[in-house]
Amino acid sequence: MPRIAEATYIEQPWRIHEFTRDFDVEDVWSFRTPGAGPDDFPTMLAAMRAAGGPAKQPRLVRFLFAVRWKLGALFGWDNPSTGVGERVASLRDRLPSDLRAAPRGPDDDGMPLTAVYELDTEAARELANKTVHTVMHLGWTTGANGDYELQMAVLVRPNGWFGRLYMTAIAPFRYLIVYPALTRQWERAWRDRHHAEAR
């Protein structure tokens, strides 16, 4: 899973840029989808949903998520009062009229991510708690070799000094454990779906 330069992501004409200027670009990654075409973004999303969330990840990833939820319960990081629509307004409140009328897409099973919008080539989901307001943006674009691929960007608005400290603390776990496992899961999901449809 190659990491993409922030400038490359910002140069793309994604709709998400129109209303997230107060968010920082935390990470941008690409996922290989061999044989994909320009209209295969919905197929990739369906494959990702079929692959499941953290419950289908390796044991170490599941352990990290379990520890995170335990800490959140202990310290009140994930109380409803800290979430979308409470501590922060939903990104849906910022959408221009055409996006607000567009399909929203389903919420993610197994993850506290709420769908914001879902188009033919990009989708966004959001999460907020006591530490951060974050957006997972998925885009369908051509990579350096000209093939179509999935790109995932993580946009964040940390909640003060504690939120910034939290993001710094979890970075090694994201880079060394979570993202590599996510890459294997999503790229395998594409291959399985693509091969099944090719039969």
Give the number of residues written for the chain. 199
The pLDDT score that the predictor gives to residue 152 is 97
pLDDT tens per residue, range 160-170: 999 999 999 99
- Residue 125, token pair as written in the block: 């989901």
Q: What DSSP character marks residue 88?
A: B
- pTM equals 0.93
| Helix (H), strand (E) counts: the chain | 6, 5
Low-confidence ranges of the chain (pLDDT < 50): none
Sheet of strand 148-158: strand arrangement: 24-31, 148-158, 132-142, 122-128, 114-118
> At CA 117, angle to CA 190 and CA 28, rounded to 5?
55
